[in-house]
């Protein structure tokens, strides 16, 4: 069983709780299988209804059903949504996503800003009144946005307060804004990972780098190092073939040194059974150290 | 009698109160007849005085008299207005509309922002000092506005705090701003409904979708699904013929799956007796499951 | 003696105080003679020194001397000014004007915003430490300004908190900003009056409407109705002949249904004795139900 | 010995302290000799080092040495600076300047805003922990700036809270911003003085007016009157010949009716001994009612 | 052993702690060797990975290992980063850098603003829960930025509150923004140093001045004087040859009168052993009063 290094901003009386949350989320191996269910705000209904998307997905219940059945580390969603479905899925480890914005305004109109909806006080109250196993919080920052100062301020405080209370903290870190010309440039993404290390989060989620002349899995190494003791996971991105998806994930973990994955669309846009099987396949690679072939067998049932 | 699923952010000691408020507002059938009386700010005096508007309507007393006599679910208005008339209409179930703005500034000049006037603390104090049956709060958000971040922040907090105290929460959700080209596009409206589901509100009020080549009642289905356990009602819109109005409402409920309606102008712009009869006809369809013909008979007295 | 309808946001323990303040300010007849002394900020020194202005008026003491001698309902000024003169005029019923701005920036440069200087907490503290008879508070809003959201937010809170403490609240409501082309249009002014009704203020002060083809006294009726139980008074405007001024006031009350007046310059720009006599004449029409002729006799001494 | 009229916003338990502070600052004659030491921020190092400036002045110690040796009313500086030198000059009556800005941004780029650094709570704490004789606070407002609303809000609160605690309050009032074409126009300056009267400050510091065809000492009279019971002093301005400086001060007091002076550069840009003698000469005119000739003899030693 | 002058804003009960922190940070000689580890945010990954940078530096652990082994005064970094590594380096005297921003947005796009991440309350809590020897806080201000008012406000409060608690405060002061044409102009930098003196910080860190026709070491004297009792150190700047670096530092201390140095890149971009040796060489000049030659011998091992 792995050792958990507890950050020093966790209050002494909450160190045990922090360790429990960390072990629960990472199934005692330190790798995170994050099932992302927060995109009904970020992408409105485009991830949930339309061509190539299973009809099940039109209703938010679908995501909870997957989270309740599949092997996952945490299910990330907004508090308000969890408050309406959690009573039927009381065993799922939840991560409260504290900020979200729609995609209606493009960067060409104005730089992105995603303000917190609720704070740690509310998360703690909610954990108590709901009795759900809430293990941590998530927050998105846009580095290079004209609102960066407010985002860093909010992120630093939320992470600090989450730790105090024994909660994990995960930061979605995206370079974005008029000042950013290439959001997937490896060196820039490594910089973003380093910023999150300075914020003190437990995990940083970045986009998978992309650059002419270098394999993404190689390019990601710089970010893994820059993040230091903050563990790095990549966003799953848009819906792709399962085999390619699983291979990429395996590369991120075994070539780049990533500590898991954060996957939404690739799972919940599939019909229920297939979605559960894919989630289990992702879990197999992430947590159970399976090969791509073994994972594919799980996916194919 | 229907089952009420109580959201998990309601404090344990207020779960009974929440259920009572929900049953009172929806007359134990889960459908909401919301009589909207908040437009003296939104539309200034244009909904209250002018050609085609009954003279009764020039005075705000008119709306309270209708709310006091007709069958409704809740009467929505600003706290300040309720504070001046509520003593004469102490049985009306009130919904406090917490934000409002005028229509003087057009989107071409600057994107809309409707800031909260008062918070849940004030609503609770007022419920106690007034002894009125206040069942919930309302809040308007403009998705796609450059002020979206502040609106989502306010909405999330107000809904969360309302629930804590056992109050219902209803969100008026309008995509609006320079980034929004078609405010009634069905897919966009479904997105708005999904955002409100993530905010955790009990009801979302949207405009009735409108799109070439698809019946609105069909088009609304996507939003009803996207809203999940958050119940959806449509805005009544501008004053139309009673028959057409009632048919549309019937379609929204029985074809699209909506859970009621939110009607203002169509009721209060009529003379008192007619207004009461129309409200009762709307109630008949919404709560009593009557046909359009039965409702029309009520309207015609 | 008139009945006072106490708004429901007044705390039960302060209902008697509210009624006393209302009766004191309106001399038991429900009509308000407001002597406005807040324009040293709004108009800088232009209302106090220059051609056609009595020299007495150069010193702020002048206004207090008038307020101390003449028959008035309330004297409205900023707390800081009252704090320096109130000890010599301890019997004057004061209204604390909570916001003010200068006129240096024109609307063509940027839309108006008048932020609160102090809040209800300070008014209550000051009432206690000064022992002055402070009966209420005043606040100016600019509807249609790009700062409307902040102004409505502040107004709603100040009115609500004033009522809680048993204080009257009066709103100066001006449509103003780049979006407003005609500030004196009757329908727009009626809209402004309706907004203040929704804010829950006791009195709304608007400019006297002006429109081609309709007498202002007729045009004002729409606003009086729109204000409902919120009582309406008109601003006195710039300095005019006494006879015309008194006739206009009489019309506002007896034709339009206004409940008083708010007069500043017309009084304090006159020499002390004449100013007192004009104030008494205004009081005679407003509170004592005198005719224009009777009032003129008072003015002429 | 003069009478001190204590403003009504001073808490009853602090009335004695206010009177003591007022008498200490004005040496029992009601006139203020303010030695201004806050310009290391406002003018960066240009008032402290360069051609025509005594080398002593390069080090901030110089100002404290003058304040410790010369006859002055109060020495105004930022809390942080006083915290480092006050232990060696424990008898100096200090005035804490609560806001300051640099001069790097010109009005043509953006309108001025000088935000408070600290509040009254900190001043009271500091007075207690430092045991220094702190008699009051200072604050600068820019009327006509696009940030006027925030500046008035801050000024009103700081003055109110200072008074509550028995502290004097002095406002530096400058019309400035794109909307202001002539910052020294007498009528405008009188307006500024009137605004400060409404804010309730004890003293207002303005620039000496300047207008074609009228002597400045005559022109200043309007402002003295407009300020009412708020006492007016003029800024010393840039370094000029001692004789001219003292004559101007004498005129301001004996012709215009000003109640003192606020002088910085003219004193501290001189070598230590000369600086002390000039300060004493200024004090002689301000507090000891000496003639210009007598003051010049003091200056010349 | 030097005398420590304790600023008067330190609470009496924390005066001993302040003195201990000051002596610890300056090794009882009053000169500061600050090892800067905050640039993973300011410069993203460009100071940590790339041509000419030791591979060790790709991982944040490298900086902590240097801080743990070398002779330094304080190690400055963000709280979040310290929270993850401090348990392995519990003897290092830490300085919490309270604000940071990335370099993605250039001044030509918008003026810089670096908002505080956390406040003194959090630093005190963290010191207690972590048991690390935290001796002070750091904060960066951009003078001449359009956000200067907010930066000065934050700086003043953080310094004041740090002192209250017995913590040292260090301000990184950079003139920057569209209004600033030459960031290294000596007179301007002296102005910046004077501003920090008025803020009351213990140390000010500025860039080394640069001007045609004057040696930088001479030019820096003006700033040292302007800072008064606030001690001045220069930023180390980009990576240069050790000899030149040490000579410059020696000049700053022995010619200009600086009180130490703040060095980041020059140290941590070197491989571990060399980095430790350079840090020790810097320490030798700063704290042990060694010559450049002696320091070079240390560097060369």
- Tokens 């080394």 belong to E208
* β-strands E134-143, E231-235 pairing: unpaired
Cα–Cα dist E301/E299, whole Å: 5
Cα–Cα dist E159/E201, whole Å: 6
Cα torsion B75, B76, B81, B83: sign: positive
For residue E198, list chain D residues with Cβ-Cβ distance below 8 A: 38, 40-41, 77-78, 80-81, 100
In the beta sheet, which residues pair with residue B235?
A: B262
Which partners does chain B have (≥3 C-beta pairs < 8 Å)?
A, C
Has A205 been annotated as catalytic?
A: yes
Residue B169: predicted pLDDT: 98
Cα–Cα dist D105/A154, whole Å: 29
CB contact under 8 A, E81 and A5: no
B88 CA: distance to closest CA in chain C (Å): 10
ipTM: 0.97
Count of pairs with CB atoms under 8 A, one residue in C, one in D = 146
Q: Which spans in D70-171 are helix H? A: 79-85, 120-130, 148-164
Tell me, yes or no, if B2 comes closer than 8 A to chain A by beta carbon. Answer: no
Mean pLDDT on E84-92? 98
How many C-beta atoms surround the C-beta of residue E246 within 10 A? 26
CB contact under 8 A, B200 and A59: no
Instruction: Provide the pLDDT confidence category of residue E218 given band limits of 50, 70 and 90.
Output: very high
**Nearest Cβ partner for E195 among D40, D86, D87:** D40
Mean pLDDT on E221-233? 98
pLDDT, tens digit (0-9, with 9 covering 90-100), for D244-254: 999 999 999 99
Cα–Cα dist A192/E40, whole Å: 9
Instruction: Provide the pLDDT confidence category of residue C235 given band limits of 50, 70 and 90.
Output: confident
Q: How many Cα atoms within 13 Å fall on the side-chain side of residue D247?
A: 6
Which partners does chain C have (≥3 C-beta pairs < 8 Å)?
B, D
Burial letters for D122-142: b for 16+ Cβ neighbours within 10 Å, e otherwise?
bbbebbebbebbbbbbbbbbb
E190 CA: distance to closest CA in chain A (Å): 27
C300 CA: distance to closest CA in chain D (Å): 29
Residues above pLDDT 90, as percent of chain A: 96
Residue C211 DSSP SS3:
strand
Cα–Cα dist B235/B39, whole Å: 12
Residue B233: predicted pLDDT: 97
Picking from C83, C86, C112, C153 by the largest number of D CB atoms within 10 A of its own CB, the best residue to mutate is C83
B201 CA: distance to closest CA in chain C (Å): 22
How many C-beta atoms surround the C-beta of residue A235 within 10 A? 18
Tell me phi and psi for residue C70, to 5 degrees: -80, 165
Cα–Cα dist A25/A168, whole Å: 9
Q: Compute the CA torsion angle C285, C289, C292, C296 (nearest 10 deg).
A: -60
**Nearest Cβ partner for E148 among D86, D102, D129:** D102
In whole angstroms, what separates CA A241 from the centre of its chain?
20
Mean pLDDT estimate for chain D: 96
pLDDT of residue A301 exceeding 90, the answer is no
Residue E236: predicted pLDDT: 74
CA distances (Å), origin E157, targets C126, D160, E126, E297: 28, 21, 19, 43
Which partners does chain D have (≥3 C-beta pairs < 8 Å)?
C, E
Global model pTM greater than 0.80: yes
B113 CA: distance to closest CA in chain C (Å): 7
**Nearest Cβ partner for D199 among C38, C61, C80:** C80
**Nearest Cβ partner for D197 among C40, C105, C106:** C40
CA distances (Å), origin E270, targets A103, E47, E242, E277: 44, 11, 11, 10
Nearest to B292 by CA among B237, B227, B247: B247
Cα–Cα dist C37/C51, whole Å: 20
pLDDT, tens digit (0-9, with 9 covering 90-100), for B146-171: 999 999 999 999 999 999 999 999 99
Tell me, yes or no, if E38 comes closer than 8 A to chain A by beta carbon. Answer: yes
Residue E239: predicted pLDDT: 67
Residue B134 DSSP SS3:
strand
Residues in contact with C185: Cβ distance below 8 Å, sequence separation at least 6, in sequence order: C209, C211
Tell me, yes or no, if B114 comes closer than 8 A to chain C by beta carbon. Answer: yes
Which partners does chain E have (≥3 C-beta pairs < 8 Å)?
A, D
CA distances (Å), origin E89, targets B8, C78, E85, E92: 43, 59, 7, 6
Cα–Cα dist C10/E119, whole Å: 39
Nearest to E156 by CA among E199, E196, E122: E199
CB contact under 8 A, E150 and D115: yes
Picking from A3, A4, A6, A8 by the largest number of E CB atoms within 10 A of its own CB, the best residue to mutate is A8
Residue B301: predicted pLDDT: 87
Residue D159: predicted pLDDT: 98
**Nearest Cβ partner for D80 among E179, E190, E199:** E199
pLDDT, tens digit (0-9, with 9 covering 90-100), for C44-56: 999 999 999 999 9
pLDDT, tens digit (0-9, with 9 covering 90-100), for A186-214: 999 999 999 999 999 999 999 999 999 99
Mean pLDDT on A241-264? 95
Tell me, yes or no, if D48 comes closer than 8 A to chain E by beta carbon. Answer: yes
Mean pLDDT on A145-174? 98
User: Touch between chain A and chain C (3+ CB pairs, < 8 Å)?
Assistant: no
Instruction: Provide the pLDDT confidence category of residue E225 given band limits of 50, 70 and 90.
Output: very high
CA distances (Å), origin A142, targets A179, A234, A279, B150, E102: 11, 16, 28, 17, 11
Mean pLDDT on D276-283? 97
Q: CB-based burial of residue C177 (10 Å sphere; 0-12 exposed, 13-18 middle, 19+ buried)?
A: buried
Tell me, yes or no, if B13 comes closer than 8 A to chain A by beta carbon. Answer: no
Question: Rounded to a whole number, what is the largest CA-CA distance in chain E?
Answer: 53
pLDDT, tens digit (0-9, with 9 covering 90-100), for B101-142: 999 999 999 999 999 999 999 999 999 999 999 999 999 999
For residue E40, list chain A residues with Cβ-Cβ distance below 8 A: 191, 194-195, 197-198, 226
CA-nearest residue to D64 within chain E is E228
For residue E191, list chain D residues with Cβ-Cβ distance below 8 A: 40, 44-46, 102
pLDDT of residue E238 exceeding 90, the answer is no
Tell me, yes or no, if C56 comes closer than 8 A to chain B by beta carbon. Answer: no
Residue C240: predicted pLDDT: 75
Cα–Cα dist A153/A172, whole Å: 15
Residue C189: predicted pLDDT: 98
CA-nearest residue to B147 within chain A is A113
Helix axes A292-300, A242-251, angle to 10 degrees: 150
- Tokens 């040495």 belong to D65
Q: Which spans in E147-271 are helix H? A: 148-164, 186-199, 216-227, 242-251, 265-268
CB contact under 8 A, C226 and B40: yes
Residues A195, A36, B147: CA angle, nearest 5 degrees: 70
pLDDT of residue D176 exceeding 80, the answer is yes
CB contact under 8 A, E5 and D84: yes
For residue E79, list chain A residues with Cβ-Cβ distance below 8 A: 9, 156, 160, 200
Ramachandran area for residue A72 (φ above 0: left; ψ -120 to 50: alpha; else beta)? beta
Tell me, yes or no, if B60 comes closer than 8 A to chain C by beta carbon. Answer: yes
Tell me, yes or no, if D121 comes closer than 8 A to chain E by beta carbon. Answer: no
Tell me, yes or no, if B55 comes closer than 8 A to chain C by beta carbon. Answer: no
Cβ–Cβ < 8 Å for C42, C195: no
Mean pLDDT on E249-271? 96
Tell me, yes or no, if C141 comes closer than 8 A to chain B by beta carbon. Answer: no
Residue ranges of domains in chain D, CATH in brackets:
12-300 (3.20.20.70)
* β-strands C134-143, B94-97 pairing: unpaired
The H-or-E segment that residue E206 falls in is: strand E203-206
CA distances (Å), origin B288, targets A37, B20, B69, B71, E30: 37, 19, 17, 11, 84
Nearest to C195 by CA among C210, C206, C185, C184: C206
Instruction: Provide the pLDDT confidence category of residue A222 given band limits of 50, 70 and 90.
Output: very high
- The catalytic residues of E are 174, 205
CB contact under 8 A, C199 and B80: yes
Which residue of the set C48, C174, C208, C299 is catalytic?
C174
pLDDT, tens digit (0-9, with 9 covering 90-100), for A86-130: 999 999 999 999 999 999 999 999 999 999 999 999 999 999 999
* β-strands E203-206, C168-175 pairing: unpaired
Residues in contact with B276: Cβ distance below 8 Å, sequence separation at least 6, in sequence order: B66, B69, B70
In the beta sheet, which residues pair with residue D95?
A: D76, D136
Instruction: Provide the pLDDT confidence category of residue A240 given band limits of 50, 70 and 90.
Output: confident
Partner B, chain C 189-248, Cβ-Cβ below 8 Å: 190-195, 197-201, 222, 225-226, 228-230
Which residue of the set B94, B139, B142, B174 is catalytic?
B174
Count of pairs with CB atoms under 8 A, one residue in A, one in E = 147
pLDDT, tens digit (0-9, with 9 covering 90-100), for B184-211: 999 999 999 999 999 999 999 999 999 9
pLDDT of residue A296 exceeding 70, the answer is yes
């Amino acid at each position: 069983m792995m050792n958990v290094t507890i950050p020093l901003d966790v209050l002494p009386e909450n160190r045990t709780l922090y360790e429990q949350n960390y072990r629960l989320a990472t199934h005692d191996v330190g790798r995170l299988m994050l099932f992302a269910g927060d995109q009904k705000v970020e992408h409105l209904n485009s991830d949930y209804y339309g061509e190539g998307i299973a009809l099940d997905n039109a209703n938010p219940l679908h995501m909870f059903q997957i989270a309740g059945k599949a092997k996952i580390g945490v299910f990330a969603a907004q508090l308000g949504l969890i408050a309406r479905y959690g009573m039927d899925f009381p065993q799922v480890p939840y991560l409260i996503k504290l900020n979200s914005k729609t995609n209606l305004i493009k960067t060409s109109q104005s730089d992105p800003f995603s303000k917190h909806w609720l704070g740690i006080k509310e998360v703690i109250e909610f954990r108590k009144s709901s009795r759900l196993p809430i293990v941590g919080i998530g927050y998105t920052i846009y580095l290079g946005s004209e609102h960066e100062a407010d985002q860093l301020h909010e992120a630093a405080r939320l992470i600090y307060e989450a730790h105090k209370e024994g909660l994990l903290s995960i930061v979605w870190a995206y370079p974005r804004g008029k000042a950013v010309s290439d959001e997937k440039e490896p060196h820039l993404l490594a910089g973003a990972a380093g910023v999150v290390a300075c914020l003190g989060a437990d995990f940083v989620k970045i986009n998978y780098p992309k650059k002419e002349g270098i394999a993404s899995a190689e390019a990601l190494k710089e970010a893994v190092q820059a993040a230091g003791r903050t563990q790095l996971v990549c966003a799953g991105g848009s819906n792709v073939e399962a085999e390619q998806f699983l291979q990429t994930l395996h590369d991120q973990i075994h070539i780049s040194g990533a500590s898991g994955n954060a996957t939404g669309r690739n799972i919940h846009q599939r019909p229920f059974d297939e979605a559960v099987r894919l989630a289990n396949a992702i879990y197999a690679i992430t947590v159970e150290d399976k090969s791509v072939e073994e994972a594919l067998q799980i996916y194919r049932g």
